[in-house]
Chain A
Amino acid sequence: MSIKYLALEIRRVTRSPRFLIFTVGFPVLLFLLYVGIFAKDPGTKAVLMVSMTSFGAMAAALFTGTRVALERASGWQRQLRLTPLSGPGYLTAKAATGMTLALAPAILVPLVAVLGEGVSLDASGWVRATLGVWLAAIPFALIGLLIGQIGTADSTQPITQLVMLPMALLGGIFIPVTTMPDWLLKIAHVLPSYWMGEIGRGAITAGSASLGKDVLYLGIWTVVLGFAVVRRYRKDSARV
Protein backbone atom coordinates (compact mmCIF):
# COMPACT_ATOMS: atom_id res chain seq x y z
CA MET A 1 0.00 0.00 0.00
CA SER A 2 1.23 3.47 -0.74
CA ILE A 3 0.14 7.05 -0.16
CA LYS A 4 -0.49 7.36 -3.88
CA TYR A 5 -2.89 4.42 -3.81
CA LEU A 6 -4.76 5.83 -0.81
CA ALA A 7 -4.99 9.24 -2.45
CA LEU A 8 -6.53 7.74 -5.57
CA GLU A 9 -8.98 5.73 -3.48
CA ILE A 10 -10.04 8.83 -1.58
CA ARG A 11 -10.48 10.77 -4.80
CA ARG A 12 -12.76 8.06 -6.13
CA VAL A 13 -15.08 8.19 -3.14
CA THR A 14 -15.34 11.96 -3.10
CA ARG A 15 -16.68 11.77 -6.65
CA SER A 16 -19.79 10.02 -5.44
CA PRO A 17 -22.70 12.42 -4.91
CA ARG A 18 -24.03 10.10 -2.20
CA PHE A 19 -20.86 10.57 -0.24
CA LEU A 20 -21.05 14.36 -0.38
CA ILE A 21 -24.72 14.42 0.55
CA PHE A 22 -24.62 12.00 3.46
CA THR A 23 -21.29 12.75 5.04
CA VAL A 24 -20.83 16.43 4.44
CA GLY A 25 -24.14 17.98 3.43
CA PHE A 26 -26.54 16.20 5.78
CA PRO A 27 -24.65 16.57 9.06
CA VAL A 28 -24.00 20.27 8.56
CA LEU A 29 -27.53 21.04 7.34
CA LEU A 30 -29.19 18.98 10.05
CA PHE A 31 -27.06 20.66 12.66
CA LEU A 32 -28.12 24.10 11.49
CA LEU A 33 -31.74 22.99 11.19
CA TYR A 34 -31.91 21.46 14.67
CA VAL A 35 -30.18 24.43 16.22
CA GLY A 36 -32.72 26.69 14.57
CA ILE A 37 -35.64 24.65 15.92
CA PHE A 38 -34.58 23.46 19.38
CA ALA A 39 -31.52 25.12 20.64
CA LYS A 40 -31.92 28.03 22.97
CA ASP A 41 -28.91 27.38 25.17
CA PRO A 42 -25.26 26.74 24.23
CA GLY A 43 -25.37 23.34 25.98
CA THR A 44 -27.99 21.97 23.59
CA LYS A 45 -26.10 23.42 20.64
CA ALA A 46 -22.99 21.55 21.74
CA VAL A 47 -24.94 18.30 22.10
CA LEU A 48 -26.37 18.75 18.63
CA MET A 49 -22.91 19.45 17.32
CA VAL A 50 -21.39 16.23 18.67
CA SER A 51 -24.46 14.25 17.56
CA MET A 52 -24.22 15.46 14.00
CA THR A 53 -20.46 15.00 13.96
CA SER A 54 -21.03 11.40 15.08
CA PHE A 55 -23.68 10.90 12.44
CA GLY A 56 -21.44 12.21 9.66
CA ALA A 57 -18.38 10.25 10.74
CA MET A 58 -20.47 7.10 11.08
CA ALA A 59 -21.97 7.56 7.62
CA ALA A 60 -18.62 8.26 5.96
CA ALA A 61 -16.95 5.23 7.50
CA LEU A 62 -19.87 2.91 6.77
CA PHE A 63 -20.42 4.12 3.24
CA THR A 64 -16.81 3.74 2.13
CA GLY A 65 -16.62 0.17 3.31
CA THR A 66 -19.77 -0.87 1.49
CA ARG A 67 -18.19 0.15 -1.79
CA VAL A 68 -16.10 -3.00 -1.58
CA ALA A 69 -19.17 -4.74 -3.02
CA LEU A 70 -18.78 -2.76 -6.25
CA GLU A 71 -15.18 -3.81 -6.62
CA ARG A 72 -16.06 -7.38 -5.93
CA ALA A 73 -18.82 -7.37 -8.53
CA SER A 74 -16.73 -5.70 -11.22
CA GLY A 75 -13.79 -8.05 -10.75
CA TRP A 76 -11.48 -5.21 -9.72
CA GLN A 77 -10.81 -7.02 -6.46
CA ARG A 78 -9.48 -9.98 -8.45
CA GLN A 79 -7.28 -7.63 -10.45
CA LEU A 80 -5.88 -6.21 -7.21
CA ARG A 81 -5.12 -9.70 -6.00
CA LEU A 82 -2.62 -9.82 -8.86
CA THR A 83 -0.64 -7.01 -7.24
CA PRO A 84 1.61 -7.23 -4.17
CA LEU A 85 -1.25 -5.73 -2.12
CA SER A 86 -2.21 -8.41 0.41
CA GLY A 87 -5.73 -9.15 1.58
CA PRO A 88 -5.23 -7.46 4.96
CA GLY A 89 -3.50 -4.62 3.09
CA TYR A 90 -6.52 -4.18 0.86
CA LEU A 91 -8.91 -4.14 3.81
CA THR A 92 -6.69 -1.77 5.75
CA ALA A 93 -6.56 0.56 2.75
CA LYS A 94 -10.34 0.56 2.53
CA ALA A 95 -10.76 1.22 6.25
CA ALA A 96 -8.13 3.95 6.08
CA THR A 97 -9.96 5.55 3.17
CA GLY A 98 -13.20 5.51 5.15
CA MET A 99 -11.51 7.02 8.17
CA THR A 100 -9.85 9.74 6.12
CA LEU A 101 -13.21 10.68 4.68
CA ALA A 102 -14.77 10.62 8.14
CA LEU A 103 -12.43 13.49 8.94
CA ALA A 104 -14.58 15.76 6.79
CA PRO A 105 -17.65 15.82 9.08
CA ALA A 106 -15.42 15.59 12.17
CA ILE A 107 -13.87 18.89 11.18
CA LEU A 108 -16.67 20.62 9.29
CA VAL A 109 -19.50 20.27 11.78
CA PRO A 110 -17.51 21.62 14.74
CA LEU A 111 -16.17 24.37 12.50
CA VAL A 112 -19.68 25.47 11.53
CA ALA A 113 -20.73 25.17 15.18
CA VAL A 114 -17.92 27.43 16.35
CA LEU A 115 -18.07 30.00 13.59
CA GLY A 116 -21.81 30.02 13.01
CA GLU A 117 -23.30 29.22 16.40
CA GLY A 118 -20.57 30.21 18.82
CA VAL A 119 -20.32 26.82 20.49
CA SER A 120 -17.43 26.70 22.90
CA LEU A 121 -15.76 23.86 24.77
CA ASP A 122 -12.56 23.54 26.76
CA ALA A 123 -9.44 22.10 25.13
CA SER A 124 -9.97 18.51 26.25
CA GLY A 125 -13.62 18.84 25.23
CA TRP A 126 -12.61 19.79 21.70
CA VAL A 127 -10.23 16.87 21.47
CA ARG A 128 -13.06 14.52 22.45
CA ALA A 129 -15.64 16.15 20.16
CA THR A 130 -13.40 15.97 17.10
CA LEU A 131 -10.56 13.47 17.39
CA GLY A 132 -12.46 11.28 19.85
CA VAL A 133 -15.61 11.06 17.74
CA TRP A 134 -13.52 10.50 14.65
CA LEU A 135 -11.64 7.56 16.19
CA ALA A 136 -14.93 6.13 17.42
CA ALA A 137 -15.89 5.71 13.76
CA ILE A 138 -13.42 2.82 13.37
CA PRO A 139 -15.99 0.11 14.19
CA PHE A 140 -18.30 1.62 11.58
CA ALA A 141 -15.61 1.43 8.92
CA LEU A 142 -15.36 -2.27 9.74
CA ILE A 143 -19.15 -2.76 9.68
CA GLY A 144 -19.11 -1.11 6.27
CA LEU A 145 -16.45 -3.53 5.04
CA LEU A 146 -18.47 -6.45 6.33
CA ILE A 147 -21.59 -5.22 4.54
CA GLY A 148 -19.54 -4.68 1.40
CA GLN A 149 -18.33 -8.25 1.49
CA ILE A 150 -21.64 -9.87 2.31
CA GLY A 151 -23.93 -7.76 0.17
CA THR A 152 -24.11 -7.30 -3.57
CA ALA A 153 -23.66 -4.01 -5.38
CA ASP A 154 -27.44 -3.53 -5.26
CA SER A 155 -28.20 -4.66 -1.74
CA THR A 156 -25.51 -2.80 0.17
CA GLN A 157 -27.38 0.49 0.12
CA PRO A 158 -30.57 -0.77 1.83
CA ILE A 159 -28.53 -2.90 4.24
CA THR A 160 -26.48 0.14 5.19
CA GLN A 161 -29.63 2.15 5.84
CA LEU A 162 -31.03 -0.67 7.94
CA VAL A 163 -27.91 -0.70 10.06
CA MET A 164 -27.39 3.04 10.23
CA LEU A 165 -30.87 4.15 11.22
CA PRO A 166 -31.30 2.07 14.39
CA MET A 167 -27.67 2.72 15.27
CA ALA A 168 -28.20 6.46 15.02
CA LEU A 169 -31.55 6.40 16.85
CA LEU A 170 -30.57 4.10 19.70
CA GLY A 171 -27.13 5.58 19.96
CA GLY A 172 -28.73 8.80 21.12
CA ILE A 173 -27.67 10.66 18.04
CA PHE A 174 -31.16 11.71 16.98
CA ILE A 175 -33.02 11.32 20.25
CA PRO A 176 -31.54 12.22 23.62
CA VAL A 177 -30.47 9.19 25.64
CA THR A 178 -32.20 10.65 28.67
CA THR A 179 -35.64 10.29 27.08
CA MET A 180 -35.21 6.56 26.45
CA PRO A 181 -37.03 3.99 28.59
CA ASP A 182 -34.86 1.60 30.58
CA TRP A 183 -35.22 -1.42 28.33
CA LEU A 184 -34.26 0.60 25.27
CA LEU A 185 -31.28 2.01 27.08
CA LYS A 186 -30.11 -1.53 27.79
CA ILE A 187 -30.11 -2.26 24.05
CA ALA A 188 -28.44 1.05 23.34
CA HIS A 189 -25.64 0.19 25.74
CA VAL A 190 -24.54 -2.63 23.45
CA LEU A 191 -24.25 -0.50 20.32
CA PRO A 192 -21.02 1.15 19.20
CA SER A 193 -23.04 4.22 18.23
CA TYR A 194 -24.03 4.74 21.86
CA TRP A 195 -20.40 4.78 22.95
CA MET A 196 -19.45 6.97 20.05
CA GLY A 197 -22.12 9.40 21.24
CA GLU A 198 -20.87 9.07 24.81
CA ILE A 199 -17.41 10.20 23.78
CA GLY A 200 -18.95 13.28 22.20
CA ARG A 201 -21.46 13.97 24.96
CA GLY A 202 -18.73 13.57 27.54
CA ALA A 203 -16.96 16.48 25.92
CA ILE A 204 -19.72 18.81 27.05
CA THR A 205 -19.82 17.74 30.66
CA ALA A 206 -16.12 18.45 30.67
CA GLY A 207 -13.76 16.39 32.72
CA SER A 208 -16.46 14.56 34.67
CA ALA A 209 -16.99 11.62 32.30
CA SER A 210 -14.12 9.17 32.07
CA LEU A 211 -13.25 7.62 28.73
CA GLY A 212 -12.48 4.14 30.08
CA LYS A 213 -15.80 2.47 29.39
CA ASP A 214 -16.25 4.12 25.98
CA VAL A 215 -12.83 3.00 24.83
CA LEU A 216 -13.37 -0.49 26.20
CA TYR A 217 -16.67 -1.06 24.40
CA LEU A 218 -15.48 0.44 21.14
CA GLY A 219 -12.26 -1.54 21.42
CA ILE A 220 -14.20 -4.79 21.79
CA TRP A 221 -16.33 -3.92 18.77
CA THR A 222 -13.22 -3.13 16.76
CA VAL A 223 -11.48 -6.39 17.58
CA VAL A 224 -14.56 -8.55 16.97
CA LEU A 225 -15.44 -6.81 13.70
CA GLY A 226 -11.83 -6.88 12.57
CA PHE A 227 -11.76 -10.65 12.95
CA ALA A 228 -15.08 -11.00 11.15
CA VAL A 229 -13.93 -8.85 8.24
CA VAL A 230 -10.66 -10.75 7.73
CA ARG A 231 -12.41 -14.10 8.05
CA ARG A 232 -15.02 -13.15 5.54
CA TYR A 233 -12.38 -11.92 3.10
CA ARG A 234 -10.44 -15.18 3.34
CA LYS A 235 -13.57 -17.20 2.70
CA ASP A 236 -14.55 -14.95 -0.16
CA SER A 237 -11.21 -15.01 -1.93
CA ALA A 238 -10.91 -18.75 -1.55
CA ARG A 239 -14.19 -19.14 -3.38
CA VAL A 240 -13.70 -16.75 -6.27
Chain B
Amino acid sequence: MNPSTPVRDAAVTAGAAVRLAALRKAYGEVRAVDGIDLTIAPGEVVALLGPNGAGKSTTVDMILGLTEPDAGDVTVFGSSPAGAVRTGSIGAMLQGGALLDDATVGEMVAMVASLHRSPMPVREALARAGIEELANRRGNKLSGGQKQRARFAVALVSDPDLLLLDEPTAAMDVGSRREFWRSMQAFTDSGRTVVFATHYLEEAEEFADRVVLMRSGRIVADGSVAQVRALAGGRTLRAVVPGATDEAIANLPCVTEFRLRGEQIAVSSSDSDKTLHALLSAYPHAHDIEITAIGLEGAFLTLTSDEEEEPSADDRREEALKSTQRTRASWASSRTEERGK
Protein backbone atom coordinates (compact mmCIF):
# COMPACT_ATOMS: atom_id res chain seq x y z
CA MET B 1 0.00 0.00 0.00
CA ASN B 2 2.76 2.41 0.90
CA PRO B 3 5.93 1.36 -0.89
CA SER B 4 7.99 4.34 0.17
CA THR B 5 7.62 3.68 3.89
CA PRO B 6 10.38 1.07 4.17
CA VAL B 7 12.70 3.36 2.26
CA ARG B 8 11.95 6.16 4.67
CA ASP B 9 12.31 4.00 7.75
CA ALA B 10 15.68 2.85 6.52
CA ALA B 11 16.60 6.45 5.99
CA VAL B 12 15.96 7.23 9.62
CA THR B 13 18.71 4.87 10.67
CA ALA B 14 21.00 5.54 7.71
CA GLY B 15 20.85 9.33 8.12
CA ALA B 16 17.96 11.12 6.53
CA ALA B 17 18.41 14.05 4.21
CA VAL B 18 15.84 16.01 6.17
CA ARG B 19 14.17 15.20 9.45
CA LEU B 20 11.53 17.38 10.98
CA ALA B 21 10.17 16.50 14.40
CA ALA B 22 7.19 18.24 16.01
CA LEU B 23 8.09 21.40 14.20
CA ARG B 24 6.18 24.55 15.10
CA LYS B 25 6.31 28.19 14.18
CA ALA B 26 3.80 30.91 14.93
CA TYR B 27 3.71 34.50 13.77
CA GLY B 28 1.65 36.21 16.43
CA GLU B 29 -1.73 34.51 16.40
CA VAL B 30 -1.11 32.69 13.15
CA ARG B 31 0.25 29.19 13.53
CA ALA B 32 2.16 29.03 10.27
CA VAL B 33 3.56 25.58 10.98
CA ASP B 34 1.60 23.62 13.53
CA GLY B 35 3.38 20.40 14.40
CA ILE B 36 5.07 18.76 11.44
CA ASP B 37 6.87 15.44 11.43
CA LEU B 38 8.58 14.57 8.22
CA THR B 39 11.50 12.40 7.20
CA ILE B 40 12.94 12.67 3.73
CA ALA B 41 15.37 10.04 2.53
CA PRO B 42 18.44 10.92 0.46
CA GLY B 43 17.57 10.81 -3.23
CA GLU B 44 13.88 11.49 -2.77
CA VAL B 45 12.18 14.17 -4.82
CA VAL B 46 9.43 15.56 -2.64
CA ALA B 47 6.73 18.05 -3.54
CA LEU B 48 5.36 20.21 -0.76
CA LEU B 49 1.91 20.95 -2.01
CA GLY B 50 -0.63 23.31 -0.58
CA PRO B 51 -2.48 26.56 -1.06
CA ASN B 52 -1.03 29.93 -0.13
CA GLY B 53 -0.64 30.22 3.61
CA ALA B 54 -0.40 26.46 4.13
CA GLY B 55 3.01 26.85 5.75
CA LYS B 56 5.16 25.63 2.87
CA SER B 57 7.52 28.60 2.79
CA THR B 58 7.87 28.70 6.55
CA THR B 59 8.75 25.00 6.52
CA VAL B 60 11.32 25.56 3.78
CA ASP B 61 12.79 28.51 5.71
CA MET B 62 13.14 26.41 8.83
CA ILE B 63 14.87 23.59 6.94
CA LEU B 64 17.28 26.21 5.62
CA GLY B 65 17.83 27.74 9.04
CA LEU B 66 16.57 31.13 7.88
CA THR B 67 13.74 30.93 10.38
CA GLU B 68 14.17 29.70 13.93
CA PRO B 69 11.40 27.23 14.91
CA ASP B 70 9.40 27.93 18.08
CA ALA B 71 9.53 24.24 18.95
CA GLY B 72 10.71 20.99 17.45
CA ASP B 73 13.83 19.86 15.64
CA VAL B 74 15.26 20.22 12.19
CA THR B 75 18.08 17.96 11.07
CA VAL B 76 19.69 18.10 7.65
CA PHE B 77 22.02 15.19 6.88
CA GLY B 78 22.38 14.62 10.59
CA SER B 79 23.44 18.15 11.46
CA SER B 80 21.78 21.47 12.11
CA PRO B 81 20.63 23.60 9.17
CA ALA B 82 23.46 26.03 9.92
CA GLY B 83 25.95 23.17 9.80
CA ALA B 84 24.56 21.99 6.46
CA VAL B 85 24.80 25.53 5.10
CA ARG B 86 28.41 25.82 6.21
CA THR B 87 29.43 22.64 4.41
CA GLY B 88 27.52 23.67 1.30
CA SER B 89 25.40 20.53 1.34
CA ILE B 90 22.20 22.53 1.12
CA GLY B 91 21.19 24.83 -1.70
CA ALA B 92 18.01 26.77 -2.26
CA MET B 93 16.01 28.79 -4.70
CA LEU B 94 14.10 31.23 -2.59
CA GLN B 95 10.80 32.79 -3.43
CA GLY B 96 10.82 36.27 -4.95
CA GLY B 97 13.75 38.49 -5.91
CA ALA B 98 17.05 37.16 -4.60
CA LEU B 99 18.98 38.58 -7.54
CA LEU B 100 21.01 41.76 -7.93
CA ASP B 101 20.17 44.43 -10.47
CA ASP B 102 23.68 45.75 -10.78
CA ALA B 103 25.52 42.47 -11.25
CA THR B 104 25.54 40.08 -14.16
CA VAL B 105 24.30 36.53 -13.88
CA GLY B 106 27.86 35.27 -14.15
CA GLU B 107 29.00 37.61 -11.37
CA MET B 108 26.21 36.60 -9.04
CA VAL B 109 26.96 32.92 -9.49
CA ALA B 110 30.68 33.64 -9.08
CA MET B 111 30.01 35.61 -5.89
CA VAL B 112 28.12 32.77 -4.28
CA ALA B 113 30.71 30.28 -5.56
CA SER B 114 33.52 32.33 -4.02
CA LEU B 115 31.89 31.99 -0.62
CA HIS B 116 31.61 28.20 -0.71
CA ARG B 117 34.41 25.80 0.08
CA SER B 118 34.13 23.43 -2.83
CA PRO B 119 31.86 24.94 -5.47
CA MET B 120 31.41 23.64 -8.98
CA PRO B 121 32.88 25.79 -11.75
CA VAL B 122 30.68 28.81 -12.50
CA ARG B 123 30.41 27.80 -16.13
CA GLU B 124 29.13 24.39 -15.17
CA ALA B 125 26.43 25.84 -12.93
CA LEU B 126 25.34 28.14 -15.74
CA ALA B 127 25.34 25.27 -18.21
CA ARG B 128 23.28 23.05 -15.93
CA ALA B 129 20.74 25.81 -15.49
CA GLY B 130 20.78 26.29 -19.26
CA ILE B 131 21.80 29.96 -19.16
CA GLU B 132 25.37 30.03 -20.41
CA GLU B 133 24.42 32.67 -22.93
CA LEU B 134 23.06 34.93 -20.17
CA ALA B 135 26.33 35.07 -18.21
CA ASN B 136 26.93 38.71 -19.08
CA ARG B 137 23.37 39.91 -18.66
CA ARG B 138 22.48 42.01 -15.63
CA GLY B 139 19.85 40.93 -13.15
CA ASN B 140 17.41 43.66 -14.16
CA LYS B 141 17.55 42.67 -17.82
CA LEU B 142 16.18 39.16 -17.34
CA SER B 143 12.72 37.81 -18.07
CA GLY B 144 10.77 36.01 -15.37
CA GLY B 145 11.83 32.59 -16.59
CA GLN B 146 15.44 33.65 -17.01
CA LYS B 147 15.48 35.01 -13.47
CA GLN B 148 14.32 31.68 -12.11
CA ARG B 149 17.06 29.91 -14.02
CA ALA B 150 19.62 32.37 -12.73
CA ARG B 151 18.41 31.59 -9.20
CA PHE B 152 18.69 27.92 -10.04
CA ALA B 153 22.33 28.42 -11.08
CA VAL B 154 22.99 30.31 -7.83
CA ALA B 155 21.45 27.46 -5.85
CA LEU B 156 23.40 24.83 -7.81
CA VAL B 157 26.86 26.30 -7.66
CA SER B 158 27.70 24.98 -4.20
CA ASP B 159 27.05 21.48 -5.61
CA PRO B 160 24.55 20.71 -2.84
CA ASP B 161 23.20 17.29 -1.89
CA LEU B 162 19.87 18.78 -0.95
CA LEU B 163 18.11 21.40 -2.98
CA LEU B 164 15.10 23.29 -1.72
CA LEU B 165 12.97 25.15 -4.20
CA ASP B 166 10.28 27.51 -3.05
CA GLU B 167 7.75 27.92 -5.85
CA PRO B 168 10.45 27.52 -8.49
CA THR B 169 8.25 28.06 -11.51
CA ALA B 170 6.01 30.80 -10.14
CA ALA B 171 6.80 33.43 -12.77
CA MET B 172 7.26 31.10 -15.72
CA ASP B 173 5.17 30.46 -18.78
CA VAL B 174 4.42 26.89 -19.78
CA GLY B 175 7.40 26.65 -22.12
CA SER B 176 10.01 27.83 -19.64
CA ARG B 177 8.41 25.68 -16.97
CA ARG B 178 9.05 22.55 -19.09
CA GLU B 179 12.54 23.73 -19.84
CA PHE B 180 13.22 24.36 -16.15
CA TRP B 181 12.07 20.94 -15.07
CA ARG B 182 14.19 19.35 -17.74
CA SER B 183 17.31 20.94 -16.19
CA MET B 184 16.01 19.92 -12.79
CA GLN B 185 15.59 16.32 -13.82
CA ALA B 186 19.25 16.10 -14.76
CA PHE B 187 20.06 17.17 -11.23
CA THR B 188 17.75 14.70 -9.53
CA ASP B 189 18.94 11.89 -11.77
CA SER B 190 22.33 12.19 -10.11
CA GLY B 191 20.78 11.02 -6.84
CA ARG B 192 20.41 14.39 -5.17
CA THR B 193 17.54 15.11 -2.81
CA VAL B 194 15.07 17.75 -3.89
CA VAL B 195 12.24 19.33 -1.95
CA PHE B 196 10.07 21.77 -3.81
CA ALA B 197 7.09 23.80 -2.70
CA THR B 198 4.50 24.38 -5.34
CA HIS B 199 0.85 24.89 -5.90
CA TYR B 200 0.96 23.43 -9.37
CA LEU B 201 -0.43 19.97 -9.05
CA GLU B 202 0.84 18.80 -12.43
CA GLU B 203 4.38 19.59 -11.38
CA ALA B 204 4.07 17.50 -8.28
CA GLU B 205 2.54 14.69 -10.27
CA GLU B 206 5.14 14.77 -12.97
CA PHE B 207 8.35 15.36 -11.07
CA ALA B 208 7.95 14.20 -7.49
CA ASP B 209 8.40 10.72 -6.07
CA ARG B 210 6.44 11.77 -3.07
CA VAL B 211 3.82 14.36 -2.36
CA VAL B 212 3.31 16.03 0.97
CA LEU B 213 0.08 17.95 1.15
CA MET B 214 -0.07 20.79 3.62
CA ARG B 215 -2.97 22.80 4.93
CA SER B 216 -3.05 25.36 7.74
CA GLY B 217 0.41 24.44 8.93
CA ARG B 218 -0.19 20.70 9.06
CA ILE B 219 0.50 17.75 6.83
CA VAL B 220 -2.85 16.41 5.66
CA ALA B 221 -1.59 13.78 3.28
CA ASP B 222 1.77 12.23 2.57
CA GLY B 223 2.36 9.54 0.05
CA SER B 224 3.68 8.51 -3.31
CA VAL B 225 2.36 10.17 -6.42
CA ALA B 226 0.46 6.97 -7.23
CA GLN B 227 -1.30 7.13 -3.90
CA VAL B 228 -2.28 10.71 -4.39
CA ARG B 229 -3.51 9.90 -7.83
CA ALA B 230 -5.58 7.01 -6.43
CA LEU B 231 -6.94 9.31 -3.82
CA ALA B 232 -7.88 11.82 -6.42
CA GLY B 233 -9.17 9.21 -8.86
CA GLY B 234 -12.55 8.83 -7.14
CA ARG B 235 -15.67 9.72 -9.06
CA THR B 236 -19.07 10.95 -8.18
CA LEU B 237 -22.04 9.07 -9.57
CA ARG B 238 -25.43 10.71 -9.69
CA ALA B 239 -28.68 9.19 -10.79
CA VAL B 240 -32.39 9.20 -10.23
CA VAL B 241 -33.11 5.80 -8.70
CA PRO B 242 -36.80 5.02 -8.03
CA GLY B 243 -37.18 2.93 -4.88
CA ALA B 244 -33.65 3.46 -3.60
CA THR B 245 -33.01 2.95 0.10
CA ASP B 246 -30.15 4.11 2.27
CA GLU B 247 -29.13 0.57 3.02
CA ALA B 248 -29.13 -0.59 -0.59
CA ILE B 249 -27.05 2.34 -1.75
CA ALA B 250 -24.58 1.96 1.10
CA ASN B 251 -24.08 -1.68 0.17
CA LEU B 252 -23.17 -0.96 -3.42
CA PRO B 253 -19.53 -1.89 -4.11
CA CYS B 254 -16.75 0.70 -3.80
CA VAL B 255 -18.97 3.38 -2.27
CA THR B 256 -17.04 5.69 -0.01
CA GLU B 257 -19.78 8.21 0.65
CA PHE B 258 -23.34 8.72 -0.47
CA ARG B 259 -26.37 10.90 -0.15
CA LEU B 260 -29.96 10.04 -0.91
CA ARG B 261 -32.48 12.79 -1.38
CA GLY B 262 -35.86 11.55 -2.51
CA GLU B 263 -35.07 9.44 -5.54
CA GLN B 264 -31.85 11.23 -6.28
CA ILE B 265 -28.62 9.64 -5.26
CA ALA B 266 -25.11 11.07 -5.26
CA VAL B 267 -22.42 8.50 -4.57
CA SER B 268 -18.69 8.90 -4.20
CA SER B 269 -17.00 5.81 -5.49
CA SER B 270 -13.47 4.57 -5.72
CA ASP B 271 -14.46 2.49 -8.76
CA SER B 272 -17.45 4.00 -10.47
CA ASP B 273 -17.69 1.23 -13.09
CA LYS B 274 -18.30 -1.44 -10.47
CA THR B 275 -20.71 0.74 -8.57
CA LEU B 276 -22.64 1.52 -11.74
CA HIS B 277 -22.90 -2.12 -12.83
CA ALA B 278 -24.20 -3.12 -9.41
CA LEU B 279 -26.59 -0.18 -9.34
CA LEU B 280 -28.04 -1.03 -12.74
CA SER B 281 -28.52 -4.69 -11.94
CA ALA B 282 -30.26 -3.80 -8.69
CA TYR B 283 -32.26 -0.89 -10.13
CA PRO B 284 -32.70 -1.33 -13.90
CA HIS B 285 -34.90 1.76 -13.97
CA ALA B 286 -32.25 4.11 -12.72
CA HIS B 287 -32.01 7.05 -15.12
CA ASP B 288 -30.32 10.42 -15.67
CA ILE B 289 -27.03 8.80 -14.80
CA GLU B 290 -24.08 11.14 -14.59
CA ILE B 291 -20.54 10.32 -13.61
CA THR B 292 -18.03 13.06 -12.83
CA ALA B 293 -14.43 12.77 -11.89
CA ILE B 294 -13.29 14.67 -8.82
CA GLY B 295 -9.98 15.06 -10.57
CA LEU B 296 -6.62 15.99 -9.17
CA GLU B 297 -7.59 19.57 -8.83
CA GLY B 298 -10.76 18.76 -6.93
CA ALA B 299 -8.96 16.38 -4.62
CA PHE B 300 -6.31 18.96 -3.97
CA LEU B 301 -8.90 21.61 -3.24
CA THR B 302 -10.92 19.43 -0.93
CA LEU B 303 -7.89 18.06 0.85
CA THR B 304 -6.50 21.47 1.46
CA SER B 305 -9.69 23.44 2.04
CA ASP B 306 -10.55 24.53 5.53
CA GLU B 307 -12.13 21.71 7.49
CA GLU B 308 -13.82 23.93 10.02
CA GLU B 309 -15.67 25.75 7.31
CA GLU B 310 -19.45 25.38 7.47
CA PRO B 311 -20.70 23.01 4.78
CA SER B 312 -22.09 25.18 2.03
CA ALA B 313 -25.45 24.79 0.40
CA ASP B 314 -23.69 23.44 -2.62
CA ASP B 315 -24.34 19.70 -2.48
CA ARG B 316 -21.39 18.74 -4.53
CA ARG B 317 -18.93 20.56 -2.41
CA GLU B 318 -20.40 19.17 0.74
CA GLU B 319 -20.16 15.69 -0.62
CA ALA B 320 -16.66 16.18 -1.76
CA LEU B 321 -15.69 17.36 1.68
CA LYS B 322 -17.25 14.41 3.38
CA SER B 323 -15.86 11.88 1.00
CA THR B 324 -12.46 13.38 1.33
CA GLN B 325 -12.57 13.27 5.08
CA ARG B 326 -13.58 9.69 4.92
CA THR B 327 -10.90 8.83 2.41
CA ARG B 328 -8.35 10.64 4.47
CA ALA B 329 -9.38 8.75 7.55
CA SER B 330 -9.14 5.40 5.79
CA TRP B 331 -5.84 6.34 4.26
CA ALA B 332 -4.48 7.40 7.60
CA SER B 333 -5.54 4.13 9.18
CA SER B 334 -4.00 2.09 6.39
CA ARG B 335 -0.80 4.01 6.90
CA THR B 336 -0.82 3.33 10.61
CA GLU B 337 -1.30 -0.34 9.92
CA GLU B 338 1.64 -0.22 7.59
CA ARG B 339 3.76 1.43 10.23
CA GLY B 340 2.76 -1.18 12.78
CA LYS B 341 4.15 -4.02 10.70
Contacts and interface: CB of A to CB of B under 8 A. Distances in A.
Given A79-B94, A79-B98, 7 more contacts: A5-B114, A8-B110, A8-B114, A71-B100, A75-B94, A76-B100, A82-B90
B240 interface: no
Given A74-B99, A76-B99, A76-B100, A81 B114 contact: no
A235 interface: no
A9 B101 CA distance: 13
Interface in B5-57: none
A8 B103 contact: yes
Contacts of B91: 82
Interface of A: 1-2, 4-5, 8-9, 11-12, 15-16, 70-71, 73-76, 78-85, 238, 240
Nearest to A90: B115
Nearest to B117: A84
Contacts of B94: 75, 78-79, 82
Contacts of A2: 114-115
Interface string B45-73: 00000000000000000001111100000
The listed residue with most B CB atoms (<10 A of its CB), out of A71, A74, A76, A84, is A76
Interface in B80-139: 85-88, 90-92, 94-103, 107, 110-112, 114-117
Contacts of B103: 8, 12
B268 interface: no
B154 interface: yes
Contacts of B101: 70, 74
B158 interface: yes
Contact of A83 (B66, B85, B97): B85
Contact of A12 (B97, B98, B99, B107): B107
Interface string B149-191: 0000010001000000000000000000000000000000000
Nearest to A6: B114
Contacts of A73: 97
A80 B115 contact: yes
Nearest to B90: A82
Contacts of B87: 84
Given A5-B111, A78-B66, A12 B86 contact: no
Contacts of B96: 75
Contact of A16 (B64, B90, B102, B107): B102
B7 to A, nearest CB: 27
Contacts of A80: 112, 115
28 contacts: A2-B114, A5-B114, A9-B111, A11-B107, A12-B103, A12-B107, A70-B100, A71-B100, A73-B97, A74-B99, A75-B94, A75-B96, A75-B97, A75-B98, A76-B97, A76-B99, A78-B66, A79-B94, A79-B154, A80-B112, A80-B115, A81-B66, A81-B85, A82-B85, A83-B85, A83-B158, A84-B115, A240-B66
